Structure formats: structure tokens, C-alpha cells
């Protein structure tokens, strides 16, 4: 069996799936919210009059310049943490659904090397995430244009887009462990619990010296959510790559060797 055919069938399994639309809606909402915050900052008086902005929030927004760099910084920060959550949901669905829907036993008895399904599912998750990333880049451009923001340069656009793409790749690398939990526990719920736990972990280590070595905190640092002064060394990227490798090996090991007795 040619590998592209396996990937094509994995893509076909997503047809009419609600989760694809939910993920798209979530990303759309995320960018819309960033635009909404920008609008409130640009129109504090109006926002206050209609009850959207309290005095406390006004102070919190103080000092931000209302231009493309600020808006894209918002988007990248949201893309970091939001992307990690969404990516976890995507892989939990792609891998866990076979067990939750009872089709794993059909899939694993097919005359195809089982590791091909694992790689195909990772590729499908990557394609899905790539579409979402392109979507938020496009939507951010639209929202920024509607808000009439200033200061957009080609370099700024490329830099923000590249950051979003790298964040998507990092999120996928980390989410592979969530996929392993999905196949190991044969369903959706445990991996989603693990995804929430990893966020708590990212937050707990986010402001400590360990942060550049904790995969989920690394995403926070890279997105800028941990503060503008935080920097990453090459070691952090090795940690992310190692997380991906370990996760992939664990999934392949499970799918190839584990009993599928339930």
C-alpha cells in the first residue's frame, strides 16, 4: 500500500467532521477577540459607555500602542497558547476517534503496516494545523485592515507569520504526547485532561528557570506570552524535537505491539 493513499484515506475520514468546523470557529473567534480588544483600546470612551471597559481594564490597557505590531503580538501570543490547546484537541480527535468510534479494530487488522497509520495521522494533523494557521494569518490581516491599524510592513508580516508557523510546528511536536495518551487510553477524554494538565505545567514553570526546558513552557516563551525579555536557546528546540520523537515512538510502539483486546 502506497503511503500517500493511507494519508488520503486519513484526510477523507475528516469529511463532515464537526471538530474541523469547531476548530475553525475557535480560531476565528480567537482572532476576532484580539480585534475586539484592539477596538476597545482604540475606543475606550465608547467601550466604557456601553459597559465593555471598566476603569481597571483601562489601566491594564494603558501604554500599548494601537498599531499592527501590537495587534500581531496579541495574535502570536494567542496563537501560542491557543494553538497548543487546539492542536491537542485535533490530535486527541484524530487518534482517539478510532477507539471511541470502535473503528480501531478495523484499521489495525488491515493489510497495512500499522506505523503508516500513525505517520499518516500525524501528517493529517499537521495539514489541519497548517490550514488553521493560514486562516488566522488571513483573518488577522482582514481584522487589522478593518480596524484601520497603522505600521504594517512586509518584514513585520513575515516575522509574525513565521512565528505563528513555528508555534504551530512546536504545538504539534508537543501534542504528539497527547496523541499517545489518546491511543493508550483508547478515547478522547484522558488526552484532553492531559492537554489541560500540560497548560497548567506550562504556566507553573513559565516564570522559573526551568521554563526553557519544559516543552509546553517553551511555547509560551517563544510566543512572547511569558514576557518580551524571555529568550530561547537551541537546547529548547532540541527539547521540542525530542518530545516529538518520544511521542511518535510511543504511539508506534503501542499501535504495533499492544493488544487491541477492547
Partner 1 sequence: MTSAIAARGLSKNYGPVKAVVNVDLEVRRGEIYGFLGRNGAGKTTTIRMLLGLVRPSAGEISILGSTLGEDRAGVLARVGYFVESAAAYPNLTVRENLHIQRRLTRAPATSVDAVIELLKLGEYADRRAGRLSLGNKQRLSLARALVHSPELLILDEPSNGLDPAGIIEIRALLRGLADEQGVTIFMSSHLLDEVEHLADRVGIVHAGSLVEEVDYRELRDNGRLSIEIEVDDVALAERVLRDQLGFVGLSRSGEASLRVTDRTAKAASIARALVGAGIALERLVPMEEDLERHFMRVTGGES
Looking at 25, 29, 54, 103, which residue binds partner 1 (CB under 8 A)?
103
- Separation of alpha carbons 91 and 97, rounded Å: 10
Contacts 24+ apart (CB under 8 A), 190-193: 191/88, 191/91, 191/92, 191/95, 191/96, 192/88, 192/89, 192/92
- 101 binding partner 1? (CB under 8 A): yes
Smallest gap from Cβ 148 to partner 1, in A, equals 41
The three cell numbers of residue 122 are: 500525524
Interface with partner 1, residue 253, by CB under 8 A:
no
Of these, 102, 138, 227, 235, which contacts partner 1 (CB under 8 A)?
Answer: 102
For residue 24, the minimal CB distance to partner 1 (Å) is: 15
Contact predicate 119/249, CB 8 Å: no
Note whether 24 binds partner 1 by CB under 8 A: no
Distance between CA atoms of residues 137 and 39, nearest Å: 18
Binding string, 113-152, against partner 1, x = CB under 8 A?
A: x---------------------------------------
Position 4 contacts partner 1 (CB under 8 A): no
Contact predicate 226/93, CB 8 Å: no
Q: Residue 94 Cβ, how far from partner 1 at the closest point, in Å?
A: 12
Give min distance, CB of 134 to partner 1, in A.
Answer: 23
Q: Does 22 bind partner 1 (CB under 8 A)?
A: no
CA dist 173 and 191 (Å) reads 15
Task: Please measure the distance between the N-terminal and C-terminal CA atoms of the chain and give it in whole angstroms.
Answer: 27
Site for partner 1 contains 57 (CB under 8 A): no
Residue 25 near partner 1 by CB under 8 A: no
Residues 189 and 103: their CA atoms lie apart, in Å, by 17
Site stretch for partner 1 (CB under 8 A), options 6-14, 83-91, 163-171, 208-216:
6-14
Instruction: Judge whether 179 and 190 are in contact, CB under 8 Å.
Output: no
Is residue 33 a contact residue for partner 1 (CB under 8 A)? no
Q: Which residues bind partner 1 (CB under 8 A)?
A: 1, 5-6, 8-9, 12-13, 15-18, 101-103, 105-106, 108-113, 257, 259-261
Amino acid at each position: 500500500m502506497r503511503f500517500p493513499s493511507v494519508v488520503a484515506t486519513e484526510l477523507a475520514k475528516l469529511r463532515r467532521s464537526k471538530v474541523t468546523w469547531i476548530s475553525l470557529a475557535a480560531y476565528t473567534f480567537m482572532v476576532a477577540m484580539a480585534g475586539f480588544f484592539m477596538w476597545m483600546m482604540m475606543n475606550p470612551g465608547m467601550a466604557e459607555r456601553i459597559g465593555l471597559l471598566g476603569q481597571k481594564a483601562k489601566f491594564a490597557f494603558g501604554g500599548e500602542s494601537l498599531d499592527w505590531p501590537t495587534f500581531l503580538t496579541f495574535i502570536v501570543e494567542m496563537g501560542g497558547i491557543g494553538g497548543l490547546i487546539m492542536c491537542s484537541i485535533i490530535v486527541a480527535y484524530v487518534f482517539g476517534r478510532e477507539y471511541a468510534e470502535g473503528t480501531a479494530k478495523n484499521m489495525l487488522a488491515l493489510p497495512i503496516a500499522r506505523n503508516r497509520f500513525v505517520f499518516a495521522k500525524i501528517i493529517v494533523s499537521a495539514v489541519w494545523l497548517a490550514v488553521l494557521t493560514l486562516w488566522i494569518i488571513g483573518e488577522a490581516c482582514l481584522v487589522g485592515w478593518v480596524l484601520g491599524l497603522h505600521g504594517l510592513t512586509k518584514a513585520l508580516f513575515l516575522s509574525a507569520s513565521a512565528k505563528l508557523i513555528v508555534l504551530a510546528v512546536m504545538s504539534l511536536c508537543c501534542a504528539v504526547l497527547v496523541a499517545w495518551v489518546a491511543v493508550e487510553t483508547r478515547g478522547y477524554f484522558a488526552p484532553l485532561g492531559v492537554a489541560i494538565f500540560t497548560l497548567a505545567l506550562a504556566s507553573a514553570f513559565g516564570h522559573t528557570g526551568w521554563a526553557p526546558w519544559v516543552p509546553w513552557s517553551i511555547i509560551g516563551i517563544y510566543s512572547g506570552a511569558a514576557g518580551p525579555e524571555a529568550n530561547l536557546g537551541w537546547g529548547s528546540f532540541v527539547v521540542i524535537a525530542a518530545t516529538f520523537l518520544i511521542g511518535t515512538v510511543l504511539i508506534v510502539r503501542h499501535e504495533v505491539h499492544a493488544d487491541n483486546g477492547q
